[in-house]
Amino acid sequence: MNMALASDAQLADEVPVALVFNGISHAVMMATPLHLEDFALGFALTEGLVDHAQQVYGVEVLEHAMGLEVHIDIAAQCETRLKERRRQMAGRTGCGLCGADSLAQVKLQLPQAPHVFVDVFAMQRAHAGLRALQPLKLQTGATHAAAWADTQGQLQLVREDVGRHNALDKLVGAMSKAGTPTNNGFVCITSRASFEMVQKTLKAGAGALTAVSAPTRLAVEIAKAHQLALAGLVRGDSFTAYAGAERFSNTTFPLQPEMQTHGYP
């Protein structure tokens, strides 16, 4: 057996990041300290704290001895909502619900997804190309990624983080800042498609989510209820369609019924 000795340069950074909205401390997440403005904007959008990016007036990152504070200035009309959903939480890697103080906070009010079609070869192309665009993953082996691909499977934006939820929030924030149209492509993630990932994708206004790992039962139920096309186990030349299977297709075959595993012909 061969043993390798790791250096600090091969370790992913994970620090406490406090999200403070209009002076109100809302959440403390363990996150990779990159693209924090994207993270703040994406979190505000996917958690339903604001309805659109224009309600976020500014983001400032402050360094402290114990971690980072991200101060987000949001519209006054959003403060009531913020106070109702206020959470004080110490987030753990991969944790999306730590500190939620009521069951009502678990399921958000979600829009119906736009009706988009995903070419299976474009999906294959996007996932195959994602690894090369994950410098932190290649360096440390410890991060997840979320990416936006166009209809041809070309990756337009990629964000990384030690937490899968954080990576998706960073992607949503980056897409919002870039003005990326969400009805003309799909989201790729390098993790399982938990129900929080489905909710965040719907909040972002996207119509399709494709994941390397499988979804949970609740994720599939939410995807079906809101017309989100959901694919999991996207690996090599195969994948499983869990929701909106008829929207994963190419000129060779349509995919029906739901929850069937297919290889690319």
Least confident stretch, 25-29, 59-63, 64-68, 251-255: 251-255
Considering the domain architecture, whether residues 80 and 123 belong to the same structural domain is answered as no
Residue 7: band (very low, low, confident or very high) from pLDDT cuts 50, 70, 90? low
Which residue, of 49, 74, 104, is where some domain finishes? 104
The model's pTM: 0.89
Considering the domain architecture, whether residues 240 and 132 belong to the same structural domain is answered as yes
Residue 88: band (very low, low, confident or very high) from pLDDT cuts 50, 70, 90? very low
* 29 has a pLDDT exceeding 70: yes
Considering the domain architecture, whether residues 94 and 125 belong to the same structural domain is answered as no
1 belongs to a structural domain: no
Nearest to 158 by CA among 243, 49, 35, 263: 35
**Count of domains for the chain:** 2
Considering the domain architecture, whether residues 93 and 152 belong to the same structural domain is answered as no
Q: Which residues fall within 8 angstroms of residue 54, CB to CB, at 6 or more apart?
A: none
137 belongs to a structural domain: yes
112 belongs to a structural domain: no
Instruction: State the pLDDT at residue 106.
Output: 57
Considering the domain architecture, whether residues 61 and 122 belong to the same structural domain is answered as no
Considering the domain architecture, whether residues 93 and 187 belong to the same structural domain is answered as no
Considering the domain architecture, whether residues 246 and 127 belong to the same structural domain is answered as yes
3 belongs to a structural domain: no
What CATH number does residue 246 fall under?
3.40.140.10
113 belongs to a structural domain: no
What is the residue-averaged pLDDT of the chain? 88
Letter for the amino acid at 81? R
111 belongs to a structural domain: no
Instruction: State the pLDDT at residue 20.
Output: 95
Residue 96: band (very low, low, confident or very high) from pLDDT cuts 50, 70, 90? low
Total residue count of the chain as it appears in this document: 265
What CATH number does residue 54 fall under?
3.10.20.10
110 belongs to a structural domain: no
40 belongs to a structural domain: yes
* 240 has a pLDDT exceeding 80: yes
Instruction: Name the percent of the chain lying above pLDDT 70.
Output: 84
Considering the domain architecture, whether residues 203 and 139 belong to the same structural domain is answered as yes
Structural domain boundaries enclosing 97: 9-104
Catalytic residues: 95
| 142-201 pLDDT, tens digit each | 999 999 999 999 999 999 999 999 999 999 999 999 999 999 999 999 999 999 999 999
Considering the domain architecture, whether residues 31 and 147 belong to the same structural domain is answered as no
Considering the domain architecture, whether residues 75 and 155 belong to the same structural domain is answered as no
Residue with tokens 């929080």: 196
Instruction: State the pLDDT at residue 3.
Output: 79
Higher pLDDT, 194 or 10: 194
**DSSP characters over 148-178:** EEETTS-EEEEEEESSHHHHHHHHHHHHHHH
Residue 107: band (very low, low, confident or very high) from pLDDT cuts 50, 70, 90? low
Which residue, of 50, 76, 104, is where some domain finishes? 104
Which residue, of 104, 129, 160, is where some domain finishes? 104
Considering the domain architecture, whether residues 92 and 197 belong to the same structural domain is answered as no
Angle at Cα 143 formed by Cα 10 and Cα 65, nearest 5°? 70
* 212 has a pLDDT exceeding 60: yes
Considering the domain architecture, whether residues 97 and 175 belong to the same structural domain is answered as no
